[in-house]
Amino acid sequence: MDESEKPELTLLQISDLHFGPPYREEAGEAVLRLANKSAIDAIIVSGDLTQRAKREQFEAARDFLSRLPSVPQLVIPGNHDVPLYRFFERMLTPHGLYQKIISSELNPVLKVGKAIIAGIDSTSPHTAISNGRIFRRQLETVAELFRNAPADAIRIVVAHHPFVPAPDCLRDKRVQRAVRAMKIFGELNIELVLGGHLHRAYAGESSDFYPAMPRDRSIRIVHCGTTTSRRGRGREAGRNSLNLIEFRKQTLTVSHFLFRDESQSFTVESRHIFQRRQQP
């Protein structure tokens, strides 16, 4: 193990902020304190910035993001960032407010150090509203990006909706076209897929759910719980969590933090150390 070695890349993953009634300010302030004292290279926000895609909720989310340390951010929308009940808006301009207030780019790409991080907008405002969908053209774009990437790049994909079901509640559906996407991610040598949506954390392997995938192409799957809302589910019901992700030459460490009411801070609950595949 090389845990004493300085990481070559450190990512903070936060998710499912849900600005609006479910937002917990004490958790949000604790995120800012932790982020501002940690050495991180980039911040990943894996969707559901708001509860109901309202202007004031996006503005509150934008103000929160602006208070994070000034490192690159990769932000993608979640299904709650699409107006569920404002039918005409959902049909005509489902991401209008998100693009105006948060980011015009729905499928952002972030290059930081040796890492290439592809964000995929997995929302499907017209169909599959809750469970999301990956569109064929998105997979083509991701494939083109990684086919042209240097062989030693750290390859990461981020989507709000999960490609594997939550292990503690198997009735949660995975995103539509997940099987096809995972096959392509395997061919592209993707090392890590980050997600949210399920409101409880998970760190594991694609081969647990896709046994037909070649073992040497197994992809690490990391989900973040809801970082700042009262909507935690399953074993994170009523809890808030975030992930700190460190890449070293030989290992990938995922530290899962939970918010503690006693200390009003996020502290490590569990740590997962994966051996990285041999780098070329």
Residues that bind Fe ion (CB under 5 A): 16, 48
List, as one string, the DSSP characters of 105-173: -SS-EEEETTEEEEEE----SSSSTTT-B--HHHHHHHHHHHHTS-TT-EEEEEESS-SS--TT-TTSP
Contact yes or no for 269/257 (Cβ under 8 A): yes
Specify the residue, 226 or 253, whose C-beta has the smaller distance to Fe ion.
Answer: 226
Specify the residue, 72 or 234, whose C-beta has the smaller distance to Fe ion.
Answer: 234
138-163 residues labelled b (16+ CB within 10 A) or e (exposed): bbeebeebbeebeeebbbbbbbbbbb
Within 8 A by CB and 6+ apart from 252, the residues are 191, 192, 220, 245, 246, 273, 274, 276
Specify the residue, 233 or 272, whose C-beta has the smaller distance to Fe ion.
Answer: 233
Specify the residue, 48 or 246, whose C-beta has the smaller distance to Fe ion.
Answer: 48
- β-strands 251-260, 265-275 pairing: antiparallel
Contact yes or no for 208/143 (Cβ under 8 A): no
Residue showing the smallest CB distance to Fe ion in the complex: 48
Smallest separation, CB 12 to Fe ion (Å): 18
Specify the residue, 48 or 121, whose C-beta has the smaller distance to Fe ion.
Answer: 48
Smallest separation, CB 211 to Fe ion (Å): 29
Smallest separation, CB 197 to Fe ion (Å): 6
Smallest separation, CB 122 to Fe ion (Å): 12
Smallest separation, CB 224 to Fe ion (Å): 10
Within 8 A by CB and 6+ apart from 272, the residues are 203, 253, 254, 255, 256
> Rounded distance, CA 237 to CA 231, Å?
7
Measuring CA to CA, which residue among 219, 231, 131 is closest to residue 172? Answer: 131
Q: Which two tokens stand for residue 66?
A: 């602006």
Specify the residue, 16 or 172, whose C-beta has the smaller distance to Fe ion.
Answer: 16
> Rounded distance, CA 121 to CA 46, Å?
10
Smallest separation, CB 216 to Fe ion (Å): 33
Smallest separation, CB 48 to Fe ion (Å): 3
Specify the residue, 21 or 214, whose C-beta has the smaller distance to Fe ion.
Answer: 21
Strand partners for 203: 222
